[in-house]
Amino acid sequence: MIENHPLFPQRINVEFIEVLSETEIRMRVWERGAGETMACGTGASAAAVAVGLKGKTGRKVTVHLLGGDLFIEWAGDNHIYMTGPTARVFEGFFDY
C-alpha cells in the first residue's frame, strides 16, 4: 500500500482525484494511520489548486467527497476559500 511504501518512511496522506469538468472534481481521501476518510479540507484545497495549475479547471471548483461537496475558490490574491456543509459523524467519550 502506498501509505507504507519505503519511499515514504514517515508515511503519507493520499488524495485520488478525477477531473469531471472545468468546475468539478471527484476526490477520495486516504489519511495515514486512519485509512479512508470522508473528507479533507486541506487535501481538497491542494487538489483544486493542483488541477488549476495544470489547466484542467478554473479557480472555482466543486470537490465531490464521500462526506459531501466542498466548494473551493482559489482567489486572485492566492488565498483559498472553502465552503461546505458540516455534519456530526461521531460522538464519544475519552476516559483519561
Per-residue confidence (pLDDT) for residue 3, from 0 to 100? 80
Q: Kindly state the cell numbers that stand for 34.
A: 486512519
* DSSP 3-state of 87: coil
Q: Could you count the other beta carbons within 10 Å of the beta carbon of residue 8?
A: 13
CA 88 to chain centre: 18
Compute the CA torsion angle 33, 92, 82, 35 (nearest 10 deg). Answer: 20
pLDDT tens per residue, range 35-70 = 999 999 999 999 999 999 999 999 999 999 999 999
The model's confidence at residue 86, banded by pLDDT at 50, 70 and 90, is confident
Taking the C-alpha atoms of residue 22 and residue 76, their distance in angstroms, rounded to an integer, is 17
CATH domain 2-83 topology: Diaminopimelate Epimerase; Chain A, domain 1 (3.10.310)
Residue extents of the structural domains in the chain? 2-83
